[in-house]
Amino acid sequence: MGKPNKMRPRKNGNRGRSTYVEEENSEKGVSTVMPVRKKGAGVRAWLLIDAYGGAQVVEAGKHTIMKRANLPARDLRMLDPLLSYPSTILGRERAIVVNIEHIKAIITANEVLLLNSKDPLVAPFVVELQRRLPVELGQQATALEQQAYPALDALTSKISTLNLERVRHIKSRLVAISGRVQKVVSFFQ
């Protein structure tokens, strides 16, 4: 294949459509054509806190966040600061969506994505989250997940007292972690 052609505007003047820019990577000698997002097109600044407590600000659109956390769009609407939603915590398959007063976050097994991180009312939460949550709940959730799937698989293939006891034990640990999360929620209410 030859060198890619520069993108041309459509005949109708390219009204309201994506603009394209050509970038060249001099190390690899590769040229790529990428869409450029217009300002205000759903891109927001999220504070990403990783499993080690490290924080960085990332700008991402709703589709990127939906794909990253495996969430439907309706769950992200709940976090929109322009819309009014009651305080809610949603547990999804791979994430927890939190909307409690000023705290709007998505919690996964590996990271926390937080909106409004520059808000002075959210700052104490960010400090506490960096100090405690990644180490404690992250390790417990990972260990619980590694044990839960094999135990549930064993139970679905053979119902026995031993398999039922393993699942019961995992459930009691899950209830304990949920209780700790509820304490954090009630602290911020």
Q: What is the DSSP string of 105-147?
A: EEE-SSEEEEE-TTSTTTHHHHHHHHHTHHHHHHHHHHHHHHH
List alpha helices for the chain, DSSP H: 62-69, 73-77, 123-131, 133-157, 161-188
What's the pTM?
Answer: 0.51
Q: Based on the structure, what is the number of domains in the chain?
A: 3
**Considering the domain boundaries, does residue 127 fall inside one?**
yes
Q: Which of 126, 145, 123 is nearest to 134 (CA)?
A: 126
And the tokens for 188? 């911020």
DSSP reduced 3-state for 55: strand
Asked if residue 121 and residue 88 are part of one domain, the reply reads: yes
- Residue carrying the six token digits 């009312």: 121
Asked if residue 24 and residue 81 are part of one domain, the reply reads: no
Q: If pLDDT is split at 50, 70 and 90, which confidence band does 101 have?
A: confident
Given a contact cutoff of 8 angstroms between Cβ atoms, the answer to whether 167 and 152 are in contact is yes
**Considering the domain boundaries, does residue 62 fall inside one?**
yes
Its domain, for residue 79, covers 44-131
**Considering the domain boundaries, does residue 185 fall inside one?**
no
- For the cut 80, the answer to whether the pLDDT of residue 178 exceeds it is no
Asked if residue 96 and residue 127 are part of one domain, the reply reads: yes
pLDDT for 1 equals 46
**Considering the domain boundaries, does residue 60 fall inside one?**
yes
Per-chain mean pLDDT for the chain: 75
pLDDT for 134 equals 52
Asked if residue 119 and residue 48 are part of one domain, the reply reads: yes
- For 116-134, the pLDDT digits (tens) are 888 888 888 888 877 776 5
98: domain CATH number is 2.40.128.330
- For the cut 80, the answer to whether the pLDDT of residue 73 exceeds it is yes
pLDDT for 65 equals 92
- For the cut 70, the answer to whether the pLDDT of residue 180 exceeds it is yes
Asked if residue 69 and residue 22 are part of one domain, the reply reads: no
- For 11-69, the pLDDT digits (tens) are 444 444 444 444 444 444 443 444 444 444 578 899 998 877 788 999 999 899 999 99
List C-alpha distances in Å: 166 to 147, 159, 169, 176, 180: 9, 11, 5, 16, 22
Asked if residue 124 and residue 154 are part of one domain, the reply reads: no
Asked if residue 121 and residue 52 are part of one domain, the reply reads: yes
**Considering the domain boundaries, does residue 170 fall inside one?**
yes
pLDDT for 122 equals 87
